[in-house]
């Protein structure tokens, strides 16, 4: 157990938007940690329901809560940067306004960080549960044969769930969350950290709960051919082009990721019997073993018809 005098400050980063049903439980889970030196920061993005009212009422019992209330809706990426700017801890733990931390999370992750100054990102297992039934749907246990380095993040996407992650504040990218991206800003944020060097790791144990409901960003961005679905792909293509331009040593990993993106979308288009998308995607491939002609040319071609 880390005592008050030696415990480094940990900031718990929370963003919210129209989460009146969940926000009080989320805040309780942040404050009900056994760790002695916490800063809880929440930034609300101009909610139109009772979320702001609930946060203000919560401050009456926990006046140390740092609360920011945006007067206009900034969008998720800009709101993340507003919240990030107020996080002054040596470490930052990320929590969605509809998710939950479990007891012992902060202490376990701080202990891992304190063992090696080169450690910059830490994740753990997560329980996924259904908001309506409260049934446990799965235990998300990350497993990567290639480890948790930057190549794995580029090739496989978010290999650790965002609400499981804690970072070393000093290692965060100067740009913060890249506001040129939206749906995948968190993916690029963690890649940016690892491109600077440092170690990403994982501790076993379920220390958070991901609430599955109809308004999850991850669900809305996977609904076929919605605005979120399209934007997710375009943001990922931008991120890969950025990495290739500034870190050419990771070009091969970028090509691997592009191939995965297009094969998955081809499969999904077949599943939805969308002949227009299927034909457009097949035209991006050679007839030999379905290999990609040129991943950069493929990106440009795919962007062109995707925006139609």
Domain boundaries along the sequence of the chain: 10-214, 221-306
Instruction: Name the DSSP class of 162.
Output: G
Using left for φ > 0, alpha for ψ between -120 and 50, and beta otherwise, residue 260 falls in: alpha
First to last CA, the chain: 57
- Indicate whether 250 pLDDT > 60: yes
63 band by pLDDT with thresholds 50, 70 and 90: very high
> CATH number for the 10-214 domain, one of 3.90.550.10, 1.10.645.10, 3.40.50.2300, 3.30.1330.60?
3.90.550.10
Q: What is the tens place of the pLDDT at every residue in 173-198?
A: 999 999 998 889 999 999 999 999 99
Q: Tens digit of pLDDT for each residue in 22-40? A: 999 999 999 999 999 999 9
Contact 39, 88 (CB under 8 A): yes
């Amino acid at each position: 157990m880390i005592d008050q005098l030696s415990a480094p400050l940990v900031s718990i980063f929370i963003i919210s938007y129209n989460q009146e049903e969940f926000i009080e439980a989320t805040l309780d889970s942040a404050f009900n940690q056994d760790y002695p030196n916490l800063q809880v920061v929440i930034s609300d993005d101009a909610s139109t329901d009772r979320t702001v009212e609930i946060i203000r009422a919560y401050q009456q019992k926990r006046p140390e809560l740092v609360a920011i209330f945006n007067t206009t809706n900034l969008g998720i990426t800009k709101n993340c940067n507003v919240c990030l700017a107020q996080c002054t801890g040596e470490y930052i733990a990320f929590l969605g306004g509809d998710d939950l931390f479990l007891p012992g999370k902060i202490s376990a992750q701080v202990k891992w960080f304190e063992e090696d100054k080169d450690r910059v990102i830490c994740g753990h297992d997560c329980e996924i549960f259904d908001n309506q039934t409260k049934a446990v749907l799965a235990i998300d246990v990350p497993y990567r044969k290639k480890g948790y380095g930057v190549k794995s993040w580029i090739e496989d996407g978010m290999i650790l769930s965002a609400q499981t992650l804690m970072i070393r504040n000093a290692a965060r990218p100067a740009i913060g969350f890249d506001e040129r991206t939206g749906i995948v800003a968190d993916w690029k944020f963690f890649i940016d950290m690892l491109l600077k060097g440092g170690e990403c790791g994982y501790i076993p144990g379920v220390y958070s709960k991901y609430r599955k409901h109809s308004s999850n960003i991850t669900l809305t961005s996977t609904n076929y051919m919605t605005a979120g679905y399209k934007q997710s792909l375009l943001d990922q293509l931008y991120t890969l082009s950025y990495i290739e331009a500034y870190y050419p040593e990771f070009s091969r990993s970028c090509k691997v990721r592009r191939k995965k993106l297009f094969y998955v979308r081809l499969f999904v288009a077949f599943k939805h019997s969308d002949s227009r998308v299927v034909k457009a995607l097949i035209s991006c491939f050679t007839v030999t073993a379905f290999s990609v002609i040129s991943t950069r040319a493929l990106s440009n071609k795919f962007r062109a018809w995707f925006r139609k």
